[in-house]
Structure 1
Amino acid sequence: MFRRDHLKADGRRLALYGYAPHDGPVLDELLRPETAPGELRRDPLRNSWAIYAPHRQSRTFLPSAADDPLAPARQGGPLTEIPFEDFELAVFENRFPSLASSGAAGPLSAWASGPAQGQCDVVVFSKEPAGSLGTLTHARRVLLIEALIDRYRSLHAAGFAYVMPFENRGEQVGVTLPHPHGQIYAFGDIPAPQLSAAKAFEAGFDLIAEHASWDGAFDVTSDGDLTAFCPPFARFPYETWIMPGKPCAGPWEMDSDSIHALARLLGEIPRRLDALFAEPMPYMMSFQAAPRGMTEKFQFTVQFFPILRSAGRLKFLASVEQFTGVFTVDVVPEAAAGRLRLL
């Protein structure tokens, strides 16, 4: 893998990843508008945190193909985020970030607990204007995993506590740019769900052994030493996880064979989800790897949260889920796994 680094005129970093060196000329590019930093506020009743970033209200919303900000640049064409006429895969700092670096300046409100510190990256899977993680070539998904490993290492080295790559697919989950892409959020502190998981692993919970005890009842498919399964404690209908069959804190610990297996499953699971109801499945997907400094026991997974419960019917988070955090699920995981196995 080759990487080319580029510093935008507004100070944001961009990296091109590819199987060949990139030496194309730099063209004009979109720049970040002046924005106030986001801030954190704490809810003392739930002991939880929220990020407030009003500048994100002005982010690009479902642009036409001619105004695609993630497209390659063209001489005399509209400005885009990527100032090159050709590229394989690109990662750059978000123009409208929820989290900003510690160097971001600006006043905070009297109700803020502090600035919303971190980094938000956009990961552009391809120069093509349409598609998704599931429609990429196998080679491109391998390149994506290698690029994410590089970002994990860089962001952990920069001191960020938790790094989460993810893909939102479908307008139903809030996608505002149709160009195939994902994101990476790097947090200054470990979010509560990931801290809870890390503590469970440190206390002795063994997800590999637990999975083995299910005796294949929840398995969907496997590739090499990786298995895709619907966990028995799933919160979404057809929720599917991918997990290595041996201890692994994050993709940076995977060998070449496992990376290729993961790349194949990252294409296979969306294919099966789309086949469920013969329509594109909107979903949220994330890489759940160990927080920095908590890698000894943590077990890496990739988690897909689909939001269709049946054809044309969305799984909404209604009053019970929103107010109590207790999910109601209409499809039991073992039935979901059985159906996905057949596709």
Structure 2
Amino acid sequence: MSNALSAIGSDASGRAVHRREVIKADGRMLRLYGHLPHTLERQAEETDDIALGGELRFHPLRREWNIYAAHRQNRTFKPAASADPLAPTLSDGAATEIPFADFELAIFDNKFAGLHPSAPPAPDFEGVATAQALGACEVVVYSAESKGNLWSIGQERRELLLAALEDRYRALFDAGCDYVLPFENRGDEVGVTLPHPHGQIYGFHKMPQVQQLAVDAFAGGYDLAGEIERALPLYAVAEQAGVAAWCPRYARFPFEVWIAPRARREGLHDMTDTEKSGFAALLGEITRRYDALFQRPAATMMALHAAPRGGSDGYHVTAQFYPLLRAPDRVKYLASVEQHTGVMTVDVMPEAAAAALREV
């Protein structure tokens, strides 16, 4: 079984970053990232058949490709703490997804992937366009600890996370993905089924419609750096090292926050180390402020929006947080009008949201 260990560069603070690649017993790839080389012995693993089903179908009225993956219906759902699949595998415990007794940060191929580099051919339907569900779905485990979040893991681990994501961007683009989206679902209201602190990465061989619209807007001259200057300081939440966190004047969710370098950058690859450090700090800081504002672990959907493969004229990278709470005891439901039209009703004005988050 493959067991490749290599140094891949450094993080924003100049610490060396190492990657260990291991082929799991079921054939999926596991990558262990750390500031120290990972040399622990491998523990026992389970071998399960991996479903490669799934297909894309095109919605002719919404003009978008959607993923159909019936095998995901059987994915792991809220296991007991003793059966945490994202924890390390201990010599006297049950096998997990990560067959080592400890690790700093892990990224592995999702067992229940909707997109896969070896996806089967799509069936033919008269009148409906179909395509192979090519791409990648990966799980990003922030820590061996079963509890935590982007704030509690600390700045050093957040900088390691950004270095690992930058490595995965390069690899997935090289593998033919046109768009790569790292993201995090957090909280029961979002539908999270594994409480262990983690995120995911999707690599798309077909550009999602929302991302294509953003590419077109930036190429058409939209100036996000200018918008940030206009929005601050009234809509500001926090700022660090040339990176701003603010509530967009056109936010679609109550308490929505974006993080971006004030100077235009396409993605992690062209940020300065100082900007990466500030970006990492604000990922944690916004998580902390949400939890304090809502007085509990806040249900949020966060994603990193960066330029597609090959770059894009005028593109400006952002991390976007969409909370699913509008008050500590009130969920922001996406009901009929919003689902059927895409027109959002925002219950909290962005300027009020920014003020509330600033005061936390």
TM-score by length of 1: 0.96
How far, CA to CA, are the matches of 1:34 and 1:19 in structure 2? Answer: 31
8 Å CA contact 1:32, 1:96 repeated in 2: no
Name the counterpart of 2:298: 281
Identify the residue that residue 39 of structure 1 maps to in structure 2.
55
Matching residue of 2:123: 108
Q: Is the 8 A contact 2:121 2:132 kept in 1?
A: no
Q: Distance in 1 between matches of 2:281 and 2:52?
A: 41
CA contact (8 A) 2:138 2:202 kept: yes
Percent identity among equivalent residues?
50
Q: Deviations over 1:228-251 (max 9, x none)?
A: 000011010000000101110001
Alignment of 1:169-248 (within 5 A): 169-248=186-265
State the number of aligned residues. Answer: 342
Deviation at 1:226, TM superposition (A): 0.2
What CA distance in whole angstroms lies between the structure 1 residues aligned with 2:271 and 2:58? 37
**Matches for 1:1-343 after TM superposition, within 5 Å:** 1-101=17-117, 103-105=118-120, 108=123, 110=125, 113-343=130-360
Indicate how the Cα distance of structure 1 residues 106 and 211 shifts in structure 2: closer, same or farther if over 3 A, else same.
Answer: closer
Preserved contact between residue 61 and residue 176 of structure 1 (Cα < 8 Å): yes
Alpha-carbon distance between aligned partners in 2 of 1:277 and 1:57, rounded to the nearest angstrom? 31
Letter in 1 for 2:342: G
Change in 2 beyond 3 A, CA 1:32/1:260: farther
Q: How far apart are 1:322 and its partner, in Å?
A: 0.7
Report the Cα distance in structure 1 between the residues aligned to 2:192 and 2:52, rounded to whole angstroms. Answer: 23
Matches of 2:319 and 2:160, distance apart in 1: 17
Is the CA contact 2:248–2:257 (under 8 Å) kept in the aligned structure 1?
yes
Letter in 1 for 2:212: L
**How far has the Cα of 1:213 moved from its partner?**
2.0
User: Relative to 1, partners in 2 of residues 1:215 and 1:265: Cα closer, same or farther, differing over 3 Å?
Assistant: closer
Q: CA deviation at 1:40?
A: 1.0
How far apart are 1:13 and its partner, in Å? Answer: 1.0
After TM superposition, the score normalised by the length of structure 2 is 0.92
Residue type of the alignment partner of 1:105: P
Q: Check whether the contact 2:25–2:46 (CA below 8 A) recurs between aligned residues.
A: no
User: Larger deviation: 316-325 or 207-216?
Assistant: 207-216
The superposition leaves residues 230-273 of structure 1 with CA deviations (integer Å, 9 ceiling, x where unpaired) of: 00110100000001011100011122211111111111001111
Q: Distance in 2 between matches of 1:315 and 1:92?
A: 32
Q: For residues 58 and 231 of structure 2, what CA distance do their matches in structure 1 show? A: 39
Structure 2, unmatched stretches of 5+, are 1-16
Instruction: Give the Cα–Cα distance (whole angstroms) in 1 for the partners of residues 55 and 156 of structure 2.
Output: 39
CA distance in 1, matches of 2:333, 2:87: 32
Displaced runs of 4 or more, over 6 A: none
